[in-house]
Each structure stands twice: as C-alpha cells, then as structure tokens.
Amino acid sequence: MASGRTRRRKKKVLSRQGRVICTLLLAALLLGGLFARQKLPYYIYPVDYFDIITAEAEAVDIDPYLVSAVIKAESNFQEDAKSPAGAVGLMQVMPSTAEWLAGRGGYDFDESRLCEPEYNIRLGCQYLRFLLDYWQWDVYKAIASYNAGQTNVARWLNEGTWDGSGENLADIPFNETQNYVNKVLKIYQEYLELY
C-alpha cells in the first residue's frame, strides 16, 4: 500500500512540476510572440542602406522614407536585382535612364556599377527628383511615372484616361502601375509611422 501512495505522490509532484514547466513554457512563448510582433514590422519594412539613402535623398531634397519605399517596392532591398525588362539594382534603374541621369548629373556612367548601392541609389534619387519636379511635386504622377514612364502618364492625362489623382488610380490602364503606386504609397506610410 505504501508503494501505491508513494506513486500517487510522485504523480502529483510530477504533474505539479509538469504544470509549472508548461506554464513557464507558455509564458515564454507568449512573451516571445509579443516581442516578435513588436519587431516584425521592422523586419517587414527595413531601412537597409539608410545612411546612403539619407545622403543621396538629401542631396536632391527628397524624403529618404519615400526613397526607401521605392526600394522596398522595386527590389525588396536586393542590390543585385534585375528585372525582365532590364532594370537593375536596388532602385531598378534602366541602364539607358541611368546613362541619361549620369550625363545630366555631370559624372561618368558605368553600367557595371548599377548594382552598387551608392551608385544605384544616387541615380534612383536623381530620377525620382526629376519626376517630382516634372509633375510639380505630384507624388501620384511621379510614382506612376517611375513605374510606367512619364510618356505613358502624360498620355493618360492628355487622353483623360486618368486624372492623376489618388482616388482614381483604378483608371490607370496598366494594372501593374495601379498596384505599384498603391504599394509604394502604402509602404511609404508604414515607414512614416514606424520611423
């Protein structure tokens, strides 16, 4: 009989220990989950290369978080990204556009450097600033032009296909550009809220 009581006591002790261990594990998981949830947005919306982004954005007087949003949408911060259309690097700059920008900026164009973060971000920032100036700082038109080209955007506006507003992005005839503008501006808003 004594052995039966001893077993029951051992079971109670083990079950108490088991409950304590389970409670501690559950608490650790919950705390880990809360910590991860708080950090998750910063992993989703990184600020890689932010020193370079800030320097190049400030050089042309644009918001570095807008540049970060373009990079996130274009390449997800992959410096060696290449699109099927031939766009290269973090900001997915077309070599022909990069050559034009380099000439306009007064420095040598070197296509082999388009995957270098500083060179690519410099060119991308200059292009974004050019588009913002071209569209008199209308962010919707500038971002749409970054994706579809200013000629297409000008045609849509002249034909009355799109009025250039954020409310009527669905009127843009290129689904990719509609989605792109929405995506960049959503990411931009996230950056502004996080940082």
Burial class of residue 155 in the structure, from the number of CB atoms within 10 Å of its CB (0-12 exposed, 13-18 middle, 19+ buried): middle
> Which residues are part of the catalytic machinery?
74
The pTM score is 0.80
User: What's the CA gap between 177 and 171, in Å, rounded?
Assistant: 10
How many C-beta atoms surround the C-beta of residue 32 within 10 A?
Answer: 10
The structure tokens 């009527």 sit at 168
User: What's the CA gap between 148 and 178, in Å, rounded?
Assistant: 10
Token pair of 178 as six digits:
């509609």
Token pair of 7 as six digits:
């077993």
According to the model, what pLDDT value does residue 34 have?
47
Token pair of 19 as six digits:
């409950």
Compute φ and ψ for 56, nearest 5 degrees.
-70, -35
In order along its 195 residues, the chain shows pLDDT tens digits of 556 665 555 555 556 776 767 666 666 555 555 444 567 788 889 989 999 999 999 999 999 999 999 999 999 999 999 999 999 999 999 999 999 999 998 989 999 999 999 999 999 999 999 999 999 999 999 999 999 999 999 999 999 999 999 999 999 999 999 999 999 999 999 999 999
Token pair of 153 as six digits:
């955007």
Residue 194 exposure: Cα atoms within 13 Å on the Cβ side: 19
According to the model, what pLDDT value does residue 22 have?
62
